[in-house]
Structure 1
Amino acid sequence: MEKTISLKEALAIVDAVDEKGRPLLFDITFRTLQRNSKTGGKLYTYNQVVKYRKLKSDNPNYLKQVQTQVKRHRNPNHFANRTRNLELQNGDIKTVHIRLIITVNGLKVIY
């Protein structure tokens, strides 16, 4: 029988950090969704990924750079949209809808 965890426990694994505040590695399997046709998309499995966290620069002129930037990004509002950004081993960023997560660290996620 396959071990199961709740979505809340799965998100605790995804959001976990070590004592220095760095995100911990985990394995994840999830499915994509095609909203237009309302059908399931591809099944993705990624090993050794971390939750993406944009860190502030160690550059002392960081504030000046931030103030002079013209391009503004829309707030992703992950909590309201029920999404998380994951950083893959190759440095790519993948957005995952939390309700489409199937397994985390080999444990089946139930809702």
Structure 2
Amino acid sequence: MTETISRAEVLKIMRTPNEEGRAVPFDISYRTFNRNSKTGGKMVHLENVKLVMKEKGLDPDSVYALKNFKPSEEQKEKIRKNPNHFGNKTRNIRLENGKVTKIGILWIKEFNGKTVVP
């Protein structure tokens, strides 16, 4: 029998930083979903990914480094949409290659080798 983990525990582990204040890497499997046609898609397996979150340090990808960034007038005028992750039940994760992708938390099937239950 495989080990199970609740979705709430998965989200807690994902957002807990390590001792250095950085996001912890994890393995995750989830199913894609098409909201327009209301159909399920393929199963995606990702290894060594991290939740996109505020991290300590001056890493160029860090939010703290972005706070010191002085935007140009053109960049100030650009309107950004609030991602509303809580309402949409989504999270952004950073892949090993640095690319950021969005996952739906309802469609997570496996986390660090454990089966996710609602």
TM-score (norm 1): 0.88
List structure 1 runs of 4+ shifted beyond 4 angstroms. none
Aligned pairs for 1:1-111 (under 5 A) are 1-53=1-53, 55-57=63-65, 60=68, 62=69, 64-65=70-71, 69-111=76-118
Stretches of structure 2 lacking an aligned partner (at least 5 in a row)? 54-61
Q: Matched residues in 1 for 2:10 and 2:20: separation?
A: 21
Contact 1:28 1:46 in 2 (8 A): yes
Q: Using the TM superposition, give the Cα deviation of residue 71 of structure 1 relative to its aligned residue in structure 2, in angstroms.
A: 1.1
Q: Residue 56 of structure 1: SS of its match in structure 2? A: helix
Q: Using the TM superposition, give the Cα deviation of residue 16 of structure 1 relative to its aligned residue in structure 2, in angstroms.
A: 1.7
Q: Which string of whole-angstrom CA distances, capped at 9 and with x for unpartnered residues, describes residues 9-42 of structure 1? A: 1111211211232100000000011122221111
TM-score (norm 2): 0.83
Q: Using the TM superposition, give the Cα deviation of residue 59 of structure 1 relative to its aligned residue in structure 2, in angstroms.
A: 7.6
Give the 3 Å change call, closer, same or farther, for CA 58–44 of structure 1 in structure 2: closer
Q: Using the TM superposition, give the Cα deviation of residue 56 of structure 1 relative to its aligned residue in structure 2, in angstroms.
A: 2.9
RMSD: 1.9
Q: Matched residues in 2 for 1:18 and 1:45: separation?
A: 23
